[in-house]
A and B are shown apart, each in its own frame.
Chain A
Amino acid sequence: MTITLIFMAGIMGVIVWWLVKQTINVQPWIADTGLIPDLDADAILQPRAKSGLLAFLAVVTSMFCLFMSAYAMRMSLGDWTPLPEPDVLWLNTGLLVLSSISFQWARQSAKHGRDVSLKRGLYLAGALSVTFIFGQLFAWQQLAEDGYFLSSNPANSFFYLFTALHGLHLLGGLVAWIRAAFRVWSGVEAAKVSISVELCAVYWHFLLIVWLVLFGLMLST
């Protein structure tokens, strides 16, 4: 459980640091004297949807950390035979990196109101992601052909489990992508889809990191 505990310690660290910042020197029992000053509306807070996404990513991270802890614990039990990762995974990793880069491109374009490059970036990112999914399915097929089935060894089970979970999260992201792409396609101006594209980009970067960590873990063991 070390992996999970490190993550939990990190999260707790953030919460405690933030809380100390909020509460140090505060004397809650003392009331305000004057009126509360007026503020311009969106000066401080980031969009709620973005905070929501970040909180959700923490939950997903927690889940993947637990899976990795389970992986580490299960691996130490005698019957583990590492499986040879198919080479196509390197190609898939490249696709996912490119897809993340195009999302970043789309995000910047949306931010600066460049409609054409937003469209290109967004479509490209989606196409790359879909290709990635097919690439992963191809990797499964290759493994199955070589006789590495889900239940024949725990290493295989974890490989299928990790790729499936990561793929499902990507598919979920593609639903959000379809919404954003549809709005862009139907001619909504860049500024209005900016937030959706930004959230997609953040999610894709996150999934890229998750994949790199999972892939690294499986390669190294």
Chain B
Amino acid sequence: MSTATTHDETSYVPPAEVGEMELYHAKTWLGKYVFSQDAKVIAIQYAFTAIAIGMVALVLSLLMRLQLGFPNAFSFITPTAYYQYVTMHGMIMVVYLLTALFLGGFGNYLIPVMVGARDMVFPFLNMLSFWIYFLAVVVLVASFFVPGGPSGAGWTLYPPQAILEGTPGTEWGIILMLISLFMFIVGFTMGGLNYVITVLQARTRGMTLMRLPLTVWGIFIATILALLAFPALLVSCIMMLLDILLGTSFFMPALVSMGEQLEYGGGSPILFQHLFWFFGHPEVYIVALPAFGIVSDLLSVHARKAIFGYRMMVWAIVAIGGLSFIVWAHHMYVSGMNPYFGFFFATTTLIIAVPTALKVYNWVLTLWRGNIHLTVPMYFAIGFIFTFVNGGLTGLFLGNVTVDLPLSDTMFVVAHFHMVMAVSPVLVVFGAIYHWYPKITGRMLHDGMGMFHFWFTFIGSYAIYYPMHYLGFLGVPRRYFSLGNTDFIPASAASLNQAISIAAIIVGITQLVFIYNLVWSLFNGKKASDNPWNATTLEWQTATTPPGHGNFGKELPKVFRWAYDYSVPGADKDFIPQNEPPRS
């Protein structure tokens, strides 16, 4: 801390002193709480909407589990309904919950306040972004109430079956789904431009790129991925809509449906798969990278220790982001491809394990000899490491063409992707909410309920997904409404399915405790101090809790150091805030 370094040459210090004139002040109640242009309010709106629709998707998954565990015990779960649950559960969880919550929710709240800005750089676009997202959700929900119900094509919406008679929801459901996705992408692009430009150009004085907390890095790179990858989904949505509505044959081959020769001809379903997965694979990292970033900060704060290998962590995020664009066809091994392509995509897929493993090592090494505080966020962060390693390892199985072929379309795949991109990021979401709730509301969440929530969710998830790997090895297929009498599936698989369903119901109910905790603590929680976790980053250094309009008081903070000055030898406290000037 004693030597001046060259990296703070003036040319790297952005003059981010945002004038008060630029800040938009709402004049009406409506402008302040509904059509708000304040990133913090928008963040809460995003989070609230995402969690609400996520709860719908959770219920849908429980309904699926009821059918799998207790076949035909519930008459309202018809095969049609079952496929609609599968489709809506997947689409909502991946796009409308996780993407929206990480980028729209955490991105909006944390980016400005962590980089030391008063707000996002384009507040009006930001507001528009949320409302278009909200409308997209409304359109999606509307598909439950139209004739024929929502689409049942699976969340991948593969043509030709997605638009052919016989698949549920081909009258209205699929059209509404595509329109809703289209709107989501438009809305997201508006928000995404905001996040990127805010990180690039609204950082406060002294906040060089390499002093950004990893949370911001994760969200920043994930946003870039999303901005470049979502167009692929947009392109496939537009072309599929044209196929449905105007009879073009982009994706539709010549085929006979219900004994009738359709007018389509020559189109390629594989073309759709390429476009879809060109979006679909980066999407995994759009969800994972913010989680990586946030968990790095949680571990560092609660272990009172600098993150291990900060620069390596940044570069690993960038490398994962770059690689995620050249692995998409590993989702298409069974579609048939040139063996050399298969070899290429298997290789790139396995290469992603390298930067990912670096990150895991660094998380573990951050804990090594740290002063670990077993707070609720810390439990979730450590739970994430376990779950992510588990899910990642099965990814190595599926990344290999020869291993993937027999496992494809079995429960093993379901177990893999739920471990790696459902449970893992969701554990981080929970950890992050327990961590930042005090800043957002000014009150602490209840610890006891938090612990209960953690243990039931964590162990419950393993009770759900561990046995599924085994079912997959037995050859139990995914997406099947019922298994019937199949010779190679032993009767014990049915008992295992029952056990899984019971575990799923318990985990589902546990989430109600979390929701209750959120509401209860809002009124009865312990009052939080400005910096209850003794963290260094700027959001904990605001004058008021929750931060007021404009985040910081009269003057924006100046940043003198990185975000990880924990347990610095010789310092008075075990943390030094980023905006604390050095002792001379």
Which residues of A pack against B, CB within 8 Å?
A: 1, 4-5, 8, 11-12, 15-16, 19, 22-23, 25-37, 39-45, 48-49, 51-52, 55-56, 58-60, 62-63, 66-67, 69-70, 73-74, 77-80, 150-151, 154, 157, 161
Pair A23/B13 contact, Cβ less than 8 Å: no
Pair A45/B14 contact, Cβ less than 8 Å: yes
Chain A to chain B: the 5 pairs with minimum beta-carbon distance, closest first: A79-B266, A31-B561, A63-B231, A28-B210, A157-B248
Separation in Å of the B316 CB from the closest CB of chain A?
Answer: 12
Which residues of B pack against A, CB within 8 Å?
A: 1-8, 10-15, 17, 121-122, 189, 192-194, 196-197, 200-202, 205-206, 208-211, 224, 227-228, 231-232, 234-235, 238-239, 242, 246-250, 263, 265-268, 271, 274-275, 278, 306, 310-311, 314-315, 318, 322, 325-326, 558, 560-562, 564-565, 576, 581-582, 584
Nearest to B227 among chain A residues (CB) is A59
Tell me which of A12, A15, A55, A70 contacts B235 (CB under 8 A): A70
Separation in Å of the B209 CB from the closest CB of chain A?
Answer: 5
Tell me which of A1, A26, A55, A151 contacts B248 (CB under 8 A): A151
Pair B560/A157 contact, Cβ less than 8 Å: no
Pair A70/B211 contact, Cβ less than 8 Å: no
* B residues near A19, Cβ cutoff 8 Å: 209, 314-315, 318
Tell me which of B5, B208, B209, B231 contacts A62 (CB under 8 A): B231
* A residues near B558, Cβ cutoff 8 Å: 35-36
Tell me which of B239, B268, B306, B325 contacts A77 (CB under 8 A): B268
Tell me which of A25, A51, A150 contacts B7 (CB under 8 A): A25
Pair A36/B227 contact, Cβ less than 8 Å: no
Pair A32/B189 contact, Cβ less than 8 Å: no
Separation in Å of the A136 CB from the closest CB of chain B?
Answer: 18
* B residues near A151, Cβ cutoff 8 Å: 246-249, 263
Pair B208/A22 contact, Cβ less than 8 Å: yes
A27 with B7, Cβ < 8 A, contacts A44-B14, A51-B197 known: yes
A74 with B267, Cβ < 8 A, contacts A28-B210, A52-B197 known: yes
Pair B15/A42 contact, Cβ less than 8 Å: yes
* B residues near A28, Cβ cutoff 8 Å: 208, 210-211, 310-311, 562
Pair B268/A27 contact, Cβ less than 8 Å: no
Bound-state Cα–Cα, A74 to B10, Å:
52
Bound-state Cα–Cα, A43 to B17, Å:
13
Separation in Å of the B112 CB from the closest CB of chain A?
Answer: 13
Bound-state Cα–Cα, A19 to B224, Å:
14
Pair A1/B227 contact, Cβ less than 8 Å: no
28 contacts between A and B (CB under 8 A): A5-B325, A15-B224, A16-B322, A19-B314, A26-B208, A29-B565, A31-B582, A32-B5, A35-B558, A36-B558, A36-B560, A37-B10, A48-B197, A48-B201, A49-B122, A56-B193, A59-B189, A59-B231, A70-B235, A70-B239, A74-B267, A77-B266, A78-B266, A150-B246, A150-B247, A150-B248, A154-B249, A154-B250
